[in-house]
Amino acid sequence: MLLSAQRVRSAQGLTGINLYVYRHDGGAWDPSNLEALEQGAELVDQAFEVPPGGNTVTSFLDVFASNLTRADAIARAAAAVRAGPAPEAFPAVFVEGGVVFRLGLVFGLVPSWRNELTDLVSRLLLSAEDVGYRA
């Protein structure tokens, strides 16, 4: 699966987090090949706090995992990433417990990357069931 959260700002100044849920085609799960995972993913649902179109993405988090990965496993993996060392650059890719996180931020959010990771993961997991994630 691919769960994606984007913190966006509209031209009118509205901010929010837009969510996307993708399923893999059932092929082999290979966390070392994110490009193949993206290409083999089908959008199954989405939810918007800010209507799409013309928005600026200020941060994003992509969570790649097997379609059978439970939400608590994603939360534990995110906590381990948060406790680990800071990446050298963004977007950054973290692999923990069979879960891959790709985090991108605008420059001003880099010092608070751990907080942004936590916020985006929390929002994804709280809202994912409403937009189609069932594990």
Q: Nearest CA to 46 among 9, 19, 17?
A: 19
The span from the CA of 30 to the CA of 100, in Å, is 10
Query: What integer pLDDT is reported at residue 131 of this predicted model?
Result: 46
| Radius of gyration of the chain measured on its C-alpha atoms | 14
| Per-residue pLDDT reduced to its tens digit, 28-79 | 667 777 777 777 788 888 999 999 999 999 999 999 988 888 889 999 999 9
Q: What is the pTM of this model?
A: 0.90
Query: What integer pLDDT is reported at residue 32 of this predicted model?
Result: 76
The span from the CA of 113 to the CA of 48, in Å, is 23
The larger pLDDT score, comparing residue 13 to residue 36, is at 13
Residue 120 near residue 59, CB atoms below 8 Å: yes
| Per-residue pLDDT reduced to its tens digit, 77-134 | 999 999 999 999 999 999 998 899 999 999 999 999 999 999 999 989 887 665 445 5
Q: What is the DSSP letter of 90?
A: S
Query: What integer pLDDT is reported at residue 129 of this predicted model?
Result: 61
